[in-house]
Amino acid sequence: MFDFREILLEYSKGVMKLGELIFELLSEALGLDRNHLKEMDCMKGLLMLSHYYPPCPEPDRTFGTSQHSDISFLTILLQDHIGGLQFLQNGSWVDVPHVPGALIVNPGDFLQLITNDKFASVEHRVLANRSQEPRISVAAFYVYPLPFARVYGPIKELLSEQNPPKYRETTMTEYIKFYMARGLGEKSALLQFKI
Ligand SMILES: O=C(O)CCC(=O)C(=O)O
Ligand SMILES: [Fe+2]
């Protein structure tokens, strides 16, 4: 018998280790101290969400998950062999292939906001499941559960006269409230926070 809680706990420990390394690398890539993003509490909350997509009898008439970008600072996603995940690139949908053992790392809206568009949040969707078996995915979002009153805006060290802030300051509480009230949609919720 599988103890699913035990497996999830072990998996989340691995995700946290990987997440820490990625936040360090992203900080360095931005020319900041390697602990910069961690010290901004980007890793403070980790929300694990498991999706179950049953086989769909009419897959051309619906979606598994409609187009959206994630609220998070970062999302680490595990998908199975069924496929259906796509991301938007220059106006076209591109399939994300299933690579055994590989995780998908996706910057979220809050990373785009604090990096002033240096790391863009990728729009994605999941097609309705046209196979005979269910599709399962596990998404780990670096996002803080509400209420979280810390104020975030573009990181000051990344700004200059040539690169002024593109977003106004906000809190995760305000952003999540707006995102949830609006629902998933074709336009990024970030546009609402543009200066
Ligand atoms: O099921 C998937 O592969 C992706 C789900 C997703 O985009 C999300 O949970 O934000
Ligand atoms: Fe997503």
Atom of ligand 1 at shortest range from CA of 53:
1
165-174 core/surface letters (b: 16 or more CB in 10 A; e: else): bbbeebbbeb
Residues with CB under 6 A from ligand 1: 49, 51, 65, 70, 77, 79, 85, 124, 126, 137, 139
Atom of ligand 1 at shortest range from CA of 51:
1
Report the complex ipTM: 0.98
Which stretch of 2-16, 126-140, 178-192 has the lowest confidence by average pLDDT?
Answer: 178-192
Instruction: Decide if 120 contacts 112 (C-beta within 8 A).
Output: yes
Measured in angstroms, how far is the CA atom of residue 191 from the centroid of ligand 2?
A: 17
Measured in angstroms, how far is the CA atom of residue 33 from the centroid of ligand 1?
A: 31
Whole domain around residue 146: which residue ranges?
A: 5-193
pLDDT grade for 183, boundaries at 50, 70 and 90:
confident
- Tell me 16's DSSP state: H
How many domains is the chain built from?
A: 1
Task: Report pLDDT digits (tens) over 121-174.
Answer: 999 999 999 999 999 999 999 998 777 789 999 999 999 999 999 999 999 999
* CATH code (residue 188): 2.60.120.330
